[in-house]
């Protein structure tokens, strides 16, 4: 009688699993050795110039508290919304044949809700980028 072997469980001694473990271990040893060598051989002469925050070559002056305009945040929110939309539509397109007409109807509803949200933003002036005239 042959022993029953589960197809789902992988033994750590199988060639692929063991090779992956050895590769990960070698990467960790390499990164650790590089960090140790850089810290050991690196020059350690602290100064006021070295402890200053680096801002792309510009010496920082004043407060770091800047007031960003509202359109800056609107662009960020629009990017997140449409980025997530793209991810959902891409995953739906990849599995289109398995989902069939029910998946098509659900994706159509999803796109319709997003279009309604976009229309609402448009009506409320969320897409107007010019400054509003001042009331006197």
Question: What are the tens digits of pLDDT across the range 9-18?
Answer: 667 677 788 8
How does pLDDT run across 98-123, given as a tens digit for each residue?
989 999 999 999 989 888 888 887 88
**Is residue 22 assigned to a domain?**
no
d(CA 58, CA 64): 13
**Domain presence at residue 115:** yes
Residue 81 lies in a domain: yes
CATH of the domain at 83: 1.20.58.1610
| Segments in 2-135 forming alpha helices (H) | 15-41, 48-51, 70-94, 96-124
For residue 46, tell me if it sits in a domain.
Answer: no
**Model confidence over 70-79: pLDDT tens digits?**
777 777 777 8
The number of folded domains in the chain is 1
């Amino acid at each position: 009688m042959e022993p029953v072997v589960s197809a789902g469980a992988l033994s750590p001694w199988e060639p692929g699993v063991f090779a992956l473990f050895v590769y990960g271990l070698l990467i960790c040893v390499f990164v650790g050795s590089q960090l140790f060598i850089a810290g050991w051989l690196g020059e350690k002469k602290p100064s006021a110039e070295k402890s200053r925050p680096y801002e792309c070559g510009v010496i920082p002056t004043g407060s770091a508290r800047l007031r960003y305009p509202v359109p800056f945040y609107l662009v960020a929110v629009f990017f997140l919304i449409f980025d997530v939309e793209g991810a959902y539509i891409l995953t739906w397109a990849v599995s289109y044949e398995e989902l069939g007409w029910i998946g098509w109807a659900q994706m159509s509803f999803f796109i319709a809700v997003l279009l309604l949200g976009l229309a609402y933003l448009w009506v409320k002036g969320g897409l107007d980028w010019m400054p509003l005239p001042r009331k006197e």
